[in-house]
Structure 1
């Protein structure tokens, strides 16, 4: 009987030591999608791409992007405590070494940071995390396979020139601006 207790205790210790208590970004999304404080949106790339105006290289780049997940908490007077708690959770998740900081922007009342996972040549996920004292906070994940950072940058430049049709995302942006949330 003592040997059984020792084996059980040993297995329990191994199980506790091997468990990773750090929440992943995917787990964070899953845990909060049903929370009424959050706005959660999954956006397929086909929703915003006017592929007729894209070059062959831009189309190829867009094909490496599977979808975009957005999770945000619009600012309301009564939810500041929730926003502060969620900002802390996301900051802790993004401290994991698998999330590599690409750039930070802003300061004071508005901040944004861009992270990626994968390698410099083959990015699997781009994470855009932003917070604003007046608007709230949000995180977007651009999910794909072997996305090339320089090609994604070129695609973003096309967006700025108007080559990509953003009308499909207009409804999403209205959700974040709405006072009715």
Structure 2
């Protein structure tokens, strides 16, 4: 009798753990569920894609650069045959980014591209940036910028230095070729 009570209790606890770990509206789940689908392409990009050695960075900018670990990119290309599915998939991505654990940082439109940036972290530091960029003509891209204690204001300053940095074009060309 004791054995069956222990077994049932253990099974119940295990079930709770497994059910609570599955978050259908997490960006990680979205990436895993979509990265192998034929309309999508995905890339894992090292933060070292950009070489700032010639950019003359301040200590704060160096710290900002070193706080970034990697970028995960998931892209969907729209064409005449999948326009209805494009809107459905875009709505799924938007639903994920509307999850309450992601805090919206900003949303804007530039040259027909809608961009939404959300974060995971506290008020001063961020562990993950989520970017959703979409265009009816091209498709959409979800970018996860993963790091440790990233500071948004320092990363913005760092982007100004990109014009003086060397970028590994090989990894970026794969993404650009996908949208052609």
> What TM-score bracket applies, with the shorter chain setting the length?
0.7 to 0.9
8 Å contact kept, 2:121–2:127: yes
Correspondence for 2:177: 175
Aligned-residue Cα RMSD (Å) equals 2.8
Matched, 1:84 2:87: yes
CA distance in 1, matches of 2:103, 2:143: 15
Q: In structure 2, do the counterparts of structure 1 residues 33 and 111 end up closer, same or farther at CA, with 3 Å as the change threshold?
A: same
8 Å contact kept, 1:125–1:142: yes
Q: Displacement of 1:46 after TM fit?
A: 1.1
Long gaps (5+) in structure 1: none
Long gaps (5+) in structure 2: none
Q: 1:39 aligns with which of 31, 38, 41?
A: 41
Please give the TM-score of this superposition, normalised by the length of structure 2: 0.81
Q: Displacement of 1:137 after TM fit?
A: 1.0
8 Å contact kept, 1:120–1:149: no
Q: In structure 2, do the counterparts of structure 1 residues 21 and 64 end up closer, same or farther at CA, with 3 Å as the change threshold?
A: closer
CA distance in 1, matches of 2:173, 2:117: 24
Secondary structure of the residue that 1:26 maps to in structure 2?
helix
Q: Displacement of 1:22 after TM fit?
A: 3.1
1:63-108 deviations in whole A, cap 9, x for unaligned? Answer: 1000111101111111223222211211211121211111111189
Correspondence for 1:166: 167
Q: 1:51 aligns with which of 44, 53, 56?
A: 53
Q: Displacement of 1:51 after TM fit?
A: 2.4
Correspondence for 2:27: 25
Q: How many residues align?
A: 170
8 Å contact kept, 1:127–1:141: yes
CA distance in 2, matches of 1:74, 1:40: 12
Please give the TM-score of this superposition, normalised by the length of structure 1: 0.80
8 Å contact kept, 1:51–1:59: no
Alignment of 1:151-162 (within 5 A): 151-159=154-162, 162=163
Matched, 1:125 2:128: yes
